Amino acid sequence: MIKFPQNFLWGAAASAYQVEGDNVSSDWWQWEQDAAREHSGLASRHYQLYEQDFDLAKSLNHNAHRLSIEWSRIEPEEGKFSQIELKHYLDVILSLRSRNIEPIVTLHHFTNPIWFAKSGGWQNRRSVARFLSYCEVVTRALAKYVHYWITINEPNVYIYHAYILGIWPPEVKSYLRAKLVEDNFVSAHIKAYRLIDKIYRELGLFNPCISIAQNVMAFVPCTMNLKNRFAAYLRDKWYNLGFLDKIMRHKTMDFVGVNYYSRQLVEVKKWGIANLAMDVCKNNHHPLKKNSLGWDIYPEGLYEMLLSLKKYGLPIIITENGICALDDNLRWEYIYSHLKNIHLAVENGVNVTGYLYWSLTDNFEWDKGFGPKFGLIGIDYNTYKRTVRESARLFGQVCKTGVLEC
């Protein structure tokens, strides 16, 4: 029997664009219309059905839920803030609180307002000021009911897909412009942290807990030659820890938000910058079970990562961990094995204070569409009927007791 610490945050995570539906003022919505892509459309209709979803989360003994605020709803035109949408998100937050579920609120989860994207998005040096203006309006509206804030979700994933691979909007392929965006993201987080903190002090409220949600991967050398080991080290330093180190230096992180999914098997063909940064093993060496997107299932990577994050001396919340799978037995096996590795890290002195499974319901998996099924709760996209999966009930028992039966 494995017992997790008292007051552990247990629940699930989601993002507005992937679950709400009809986010028509978002750059992603426009991008979907411009190309023959799967449209997010009504997504999981969470905008209308959030009370139903939170009833299910409550029935599954969740005491925390991570959501994001859709910037393009709050500010569909630059400088014009929607009181109706601010009220909607206040209702969502109060709906969680009324069920004794702790809201963990993300301010930026990959999507931007169309007007922001048209002005150059995060490449524009005014992007930071624009983001702060949005953050101020939302923070003042929700501060009283929100203890946990995530300023930016996975800046590394967003930059990699949108500015290096160029497969997400705005489809740029430029290391230089990626670096510019990263600098603006770092500045945006640091200033947003200080702004949120100032607002809470002005309002005479408790101290909020503010961080980012950082995607981290287990970079594992395929063979232990120097190129592979050096590349794995570089990727860990840049991809996993670079942003965290920067915001830690500016003392703008109250906990470490960690999104962990998988392993990357590093096999570098030759000594070259792009090779060291990107080459992976394509021969399926050291094969592992995979999710339906082909990502390796590698729970021990989370243990190793948590040990390396101990250096920050801060509480750590697993803000995302999940699997897309048609076989729900594999979903429970994934959850169980990752929880075991989290607990092993706790036994080794790592201060993990929460685990949020990605995701509460099936949802829109960005450029992959609705195919990947991550949800604890399945969605029938013809009727929007919710079906609680067996893995959700098994996880719900752990949420209730804090105990993982061996």
Q: Which is nearer to ligand GCO, 139 or 321 (CB)?
A: 321
Pick from 77, 144, 152, 64: nearest CA to 114? 77
Measuring CA to CA, how many Å separate 86 from each of 19, 48, 70? 18, 15, 10
> Smallest distance, Å, CB 269 to ligand GCO?
27
Supply the DSSP string of 98-150, one letter for each residue.
TTT-EEEEEEESS--BHHHHHTTGGGSTTHHHHHHHHHHHHHHHHGGG--EEE
Q: Which is nearer to ligand GCO, 63 or 259 (CB)?
A: 259
> Smallest distance, Å, CB 14 to ligand GCO?
8
> Smallest distance, Å, CB 168 to ligand GCO?
10
Q: Which is nearer to ligand GCO, 184 or 363 (CB)?
A: 363
Cβ count near 17 (within 10 Å): 25
Q: Which is nearer to ligand GCO, 157 or 159 (CB)?
A: 157
Q: Which residues pair with 108 in a beta bridge?
A: 152
**Burial tier of 313 (Cβ tally within 10 Å: 0-12, 13-18, 19+):** exposed
Q: Which is nearer to ligand GCO, 13 or 314 (CB)?
A: 13
> Smallest distance, Å, CB 321 to ligand GCO?
9
Contacting residues toward ligand GCO, per CB under 6 A: 15, 18, 153-154, 157, 215, 259, 320, 358, 365, 374
**Residues whose CB is less than 8 angstroms from the CB of residue 93 and which lie 6 or more positions away in sequence, other chains included:** 103, 105, 142, 145, 146
Preceding amide of 170 cis, omega within 30: yes
Beta strands 209-221 and 148-153 are parallel
DSSP state of 24: T
> Smallest distance, Å, CB 215 to ligand GCO?
5
> Smallest distance, Å, CB 261 to ligand GCO?
6
> Smallest distance, Å, CB 180 to ligand GCO?
22
